[in-house]
Amino acid sequence: MAQTRPRPSLWPSLPFVGAVVALTLSAVSGCRADPDYPKQPPFDFDSMATPVPADFSSEGELAARYLADILPLYEMGEAGAFPGVEGVSIAYRAFRVPQERGAVVLLPGRAEAMLKYAEIIADIVDEGYSVFAMSHRGQGESGRMTEDPQLGYVEYFQDYVDDLDHFVNAVVRRSEHPRLFLLAHSMGGAVALLYLDEHPEVWSAVALSAPMLELDTGAFPEAAALSIASGVCSRGSGKSFAAGQTGFNANLAFDDADNTVTHSRARFDLKMATLREHPELALGGVSYRWLCEALQATSLVQTLGKYSNVPTLLFQAGSDKLVRPGGQNRYCNEAARCQKVVYGDSYHEVLMERDAIRNDALTKAIKFYRAWGG
């Protein structure tokens, strides 16, 4: 059945909320006592010999291997859907491995489809892990909620979290797994950490790629951007594109200045070719409503690190143009078992970057899972 229940935004949508942000965060944090989780020493990746970056997919072979191996494996995955909050269809794929080391739940970033992660899924499956991927509401293979399918929209950010909860309990846990791990990118990272805060017992370890814990709001401070967006939302215009946002640009080229996501031409070109072949998977810029909800949610997530004792590996993109590092630093510095790895030359999509970055991150994620029982 659809998961429905009335609930407010994380904070009220007021025209001028910047002045109350700090007070709200204090109230949220003050609802529970601070735990006494001492900071743990980082995991030594060199202590584990395998896997190594050469075990994973390479840019040079990607075009040929995609058609021969990667896409066929993806299409063999168990495709399904379930009714999320308010009945929105949430699409998923399950890739089950006999005698698995564990199961990895994969959460894409904003505007991404599961299909974009076919290369990552193939590499993880090859390492002996089952993979359960889902597309967030309003994007990819899942249901859209506005008349314009290009508009990035969500009614409440908590809806993403509740959808994930249903996915974990109704799909992932439908079968037994020795361990459950999480791999999440960007917006998926914010969703993951909110869910982890509610259900820390579910995960043996978590790996996050450039998690969206502080949006890059350009010349506007975060509180000012939230105030402006909330003012628009309060006037009933939340289902319009935020300033500067447009529909998906199917003609974007690798060398264009607007490509700020990856230095890998092979992976960029594959992504664009896939979206041109499947335009129904594409999504454009964000709405004012999405911006209101995301700014509220990410401000909250930054305060939650001190409550976490779950082993967490955070990949930070040193050349990120979409997400600022401050929120990631605040969370990871406070979380007892959070370890940060910085890739100084990486754009936002760490897991879609050049081999030297992408495969090193994937190597570290697998080693991290193995260190915690996988």
Spatial contact of 346 and 260, defined as CB atoms under 8 Å apart: no
Please state which of the ranges 15-19, 38-42, 102-106, 346-350 shows the lowest mean pLDDT: 15-19
Tokens of 267: 């992976």
Within a domain: 42: yes
Residue 19 DSSP label: G
Is residue 6's pLDDT more than 80? no
Within a domain: 9: no
Share of the chain above pLDDT 90, in %: 80
**pLDDT, average across residues 63-79:** 97
Within a domain: 6: no
Number of domains the chain is built from: 1
CA dihedral 323, 262, 107, 318 (to 10 degrees): -40
Determine the Cα–Cα distance for residues 291 and 275; give it in Å rounded to an integer: 24
Whether a cis peptide bond, with omega within 30° of 0, leads into 51 is yes
**339 φ, ψ to 5°?**
-125, 130
Query: 110 falls in which pLDDT band (50, 70, 90)?
Result: very high
Mean pLDDT score of the chain: 90
Query: 218 falls in which pLDDT band (50, 70, 90)?
Result: confident
Spatial contact of 308 and 337, defined as CB atoms under 8 Å apart: yes
**pLDDT, average across residues 318-339:** 97
Q: Give the chain's radius of gyration (CA, Å).
A: 19
| 21-37 per-position pLDDT tens digit | 443 444 445 567 788 89
Determine the Cα–Cα distance for residues 322 and 316; give it in Å rounded to an integer: 12
pLDDT score, position 220: 65
Q: Which long-range contacts (CB under 8 A, 24 or more apart) does 25-28 make?
A: 25/299, 25/300, 25/303, 28/300, 28/303
Within a domain: 5: no
pLDDT score, position 221: 67
Q: Which residues form the domain of 331?
A: 18-371
Residue 372 DSSP label: T
The dihedral region occupied by 244, where left means phi > 0, alpha psi between -120 and 50, and beta the remainder, is left
Give the residue with greater pLDDT, 78 vs 238: 78
Give the residue with greater pLDDT, 232 vs 100: 100
Within a domain: 7: no
Within a domain: 4: no
Q: Which domain CATH number covers 94?
A: 3.40.50.1820
Within a domain: 329: yes
**pLDDT, average across residues 335-342:** 98
- Angstrom CA distances, 54 to 51, 138, 173, 342, stand at 8, 36, 32, 20
Is residue 344's pLDDT more than 80? yes
Spatial contact of 179 and 373, defined as CB atoms under 8 Å apart: yes
**166 φ, ψ to 5°?**
-65, -40
Determine the Cα–Cα distance for residues 358 and 343; give it in Å rounded to an integer: 10
Within a domain: 11: no
Q: What is the full DSSP assignment across 114-133?
A: GGGGHHHHHHHHHTTEEEEE
39: Cα separation from own chain's centroid: 25
